[in-house]
C-alpha cells in the first residue's frame, strides 16, 4: 500500500466512526496532535492536585478530609490513565515528565490560581471539575481508542468530584453571614477562569477545524463553554449566590444565556507563565521529582537484586 492508500483507509475509518488503535497507520500530525493534547491533559490532572492538596490538612472535618483525599487521589489516577494512553503513541513517560518540568508542555491554566479559603475547594469541585466534565464527556467519543477509553473511566469518577464541591458550597451557603461571603467570594474568583478552561474562542482557535475533522474534538470550545454556562446558571440559583457577570441574561431567541466578554489578555498571561502560581506549581512538581529520584533508583536496584538472587537459586537447584 502507498501512503495515499493508508491515508484513504484512515479517513474512511474516521468517517465510519471506527476507532483508531495504537498499531494502526495514522498521519504524523494526528499522532503529534494527540500526543500534545493527551499529555497536556495528563499534566493538568497531576498539577491539578496541588491547589486542592493545599487544603487536605486543613479540611474542616474528618468527612471532608476523607472526601478531599479520595478526590485528589482520583486526579492522580486520571493523570496515570492519560499518560499511559499517550505512551501508546510512542512517547515515553520520562519524555512527558521532562516536558512538563522544563515548562515546554502546558497544562490547564486554571491550576495557576491560588486556593485561599476552604470555599475555594467547593468552587473548584463545582466549577472547575464541572467545566472539565463538560469537556471530558465529549471526549468519550474521541477517535483514538486508548484516549476514549481513558475518558470513559475518568468520567465515571468525575461526577462525585463535582457533587462533593457543590455540597461544600451548599452547606456553607446555609451557614453564617461570613460563610456566605466566603462562598460568593470564591465564585467571584473562579467563575471567569473556569470559562477560560474551554480555551480561546472558535475564531481564535486555528486547530479546531482539523481536530473536528479527525474527530479528536467533537464540539468546539465555544459550544462547550455555552453548554457549561447554561447548566451552571441554574445550579447557582439553588445556592442563592450570584455569578459575577452583569451581562449574563437568558436569550429567548438563541435558547442560551448571553454572557459578557472574557478577559483573554488574562488568559494568555497565565498560559505564558505569569499567573499567580505558575512558578510555585512548577517548582512543586520539580521538587517532588528530584526528591523522589532516590526512591525510583532504589526500587530498580532492589528488583535487579531480587532477579539475580532468583537466578542464582535456580542454577543451584538445577
Which residues here bind another protein, judged by CB under 8 A? 1, 21, 23-25, 70, 73-74, 77, 80-81, 84-85, 87-88, 90-95, 146, 149-150, 153, 157, 293, 296-297, 299-300, 302-303, 306-307
d(CA 179, CA 254): 36
The label of the residue with cell 465529549 reads 138
When CB distances are held under 5 to 8 angstroms depending on the partner's kind, the choice from Fe ion, another protein, none that residue 81 binds is another protein
**In angstroms, what is the minimal distance from the CB of 285 to another protein?**
17
**In angstroms, what is the minimal distance from the CB of 77 to Fe ion?**
8
**In angstroms, what is the minimal distance from the CB of 129 to Fe ion?**
4
User: Of 21-50, which residues contact Fe ion (CB under 5 A)?
Assistant: 45
**In angstroms, what is the minimal distance from the CB of 94 to another protein?**
5
When CB distances are held under 5 to 8 angstroms depending on the partner's kind, the choice from Fe ion, another protein, none that residue 66 binds is none
Q: Find the Cα–Cα–Cα–Cα dihedral 29, 34, 37, 40, rounded to 10°.
A: -110
Binding test (CB under 5 A) with Fe ion, winner from 52, 87, 120, 129: 129
Pairing of strands 256-258, 249-251: antiparallel
When CB distances are held under 5 to 8 angstroms depending on the partner's kind, the choice from Fe ion, another protein, none that residue 91 binds is another protein
Residue 28 or 234 with smaller CB distance to another protein: 28
| Cβ(162)–Cβ(126) below 8 Å | yes
Residue 212 or 300 with smaller CB distance to another protein: 300
Binding test (CB under 5 A) with Fe ion, winner from 13, 78, 225, 285: 78
**Which residues, in sequence order, are CB contacts of 311 under 8 Å at separation 6+?**
none
φ, ψ dihedrals at 144, nearest 5°: -85, 115
Residue 43 or 78 with smaller CB distance to Fe ion: 78
**In angstroms, what is the minimal distance from the CB of 16 to another protein?**
15
d(CA 316, CA 225): 67
When CB distances are held under 5 to 8 angstroms depending on the partner's kind, the choice from Fe ion, another protein, none that residue 247 binds is none
d(CA 152, CA 72): 18
Residue 20 or 137 with smaller CB distance to Fe ion: 137
When CB distances are held under 5 to 8 angstroms depending on the partner's kind, the choice from Fe ion, another protein, none that residue 161 binds is Fe ion
CA separation, residue 128 to residues 111, 120, 163, 206, 222 (Å): 9, 10, 12, 25, 16
CA separation, residue 292 to residues 43, 54, 95, 135 (Å): 18, 20, 17, 33
Q: Could you tell me if residue 4 is left (phi over 0), alpha (psi between -120 and 50 degrees) or otherwise beta?
A: alpha
Q: Which residues bind Fe ion (CB under 5 A)?
A: 45, 75, 78, 129, 158, 161
Amino acid at each position: 500500500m502507498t501512503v495515499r492508500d493508508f491515508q484513504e483507509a484512515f479517513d474512511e475509518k474516521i468517517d465510519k466512526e471506527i476507532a483508531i488503535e495504537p498499531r494502526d497507520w495514522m498521519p504524523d500530525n494526528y499522532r503529534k496532535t494527540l500526543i500534545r493534547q493527551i499529555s497536556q491533559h495528563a499534566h493538568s490532572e497531576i498539577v491539578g492536585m496541588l491547589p486542592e492538596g493545599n487544603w487536605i490538612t486543613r479540611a474542616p472535618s474528618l468527612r471532608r478530609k476523607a472526601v478531599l483525599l479520595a478526590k485528589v487521589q482520583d486526579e492522580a489516577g486520571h493523570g496515570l490513565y492519560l499518560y499511559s494512553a499517550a505512551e501508546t503513541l510512542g512517547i515515553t513517560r520520562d519524555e512527558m515528565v521532562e516536558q512538563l518540568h522544563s515548562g515546554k508542555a502546558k497544562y490547564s491554566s486554571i491550576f495557576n490560581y491560588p486556593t485561599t479559603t476552604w470555599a475555594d475547594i467547593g468552587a473548584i469541585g463545582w466549577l472547575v471539575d464541572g467545566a472539565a466534565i463538560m469537556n471530558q464527556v465529549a471526549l468519550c467519543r474521541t477517535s483514538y481508542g486508548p484516549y476514549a477509553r481513558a475518558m470513559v473511566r475518568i468520567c465515571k469518577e468525575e461526577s462525585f468530584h463535582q457533587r462533593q464541591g457543590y455540597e461544600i458550597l451548599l452547606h456553607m451557603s446555609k451557614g453564617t453571614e461570613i460563610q456566605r461571603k466566603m462562598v460568593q467570594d470564591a465564585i467571584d474568583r473562579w467563575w471567569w477562569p473556569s470559562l477560560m478552561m474551554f480555551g480561546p474562542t472558535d475564531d481564535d482557535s486555528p486547530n479546531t477545524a482539523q481536530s473536528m475533522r479527525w474527530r479528536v474534538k467533537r464540539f468546539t470550545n465555544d459550544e462547550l463553554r455555552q453548554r457549561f454556562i447554561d447548566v451552571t446558571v441554574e445550579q447557582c440559583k439553588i445556592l442563592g449566590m450570584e455569578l459575577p457577570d452583569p451581562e449574563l441574561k437568558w436569550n429567548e431567541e438563541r435558547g442560551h444565556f448571553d454572557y459578557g466578554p472574557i478577559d483573554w489578555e488574562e488568559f494568555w498571561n497565565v498560559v505564558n507563565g505569569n499567573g499567580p502560581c505558575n512558578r510555585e506549581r512548577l517548582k512543586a512538581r520539580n521538587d517532588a521529582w528530584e526528591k523522589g529520584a532516590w526512591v525510583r533508583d532504589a526500587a530498580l536496584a532492589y528488583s535487579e537484586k531480587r532477579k539475580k538472587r532468583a537466578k542464582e537459586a535456580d542454577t543451584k537447584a538445577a
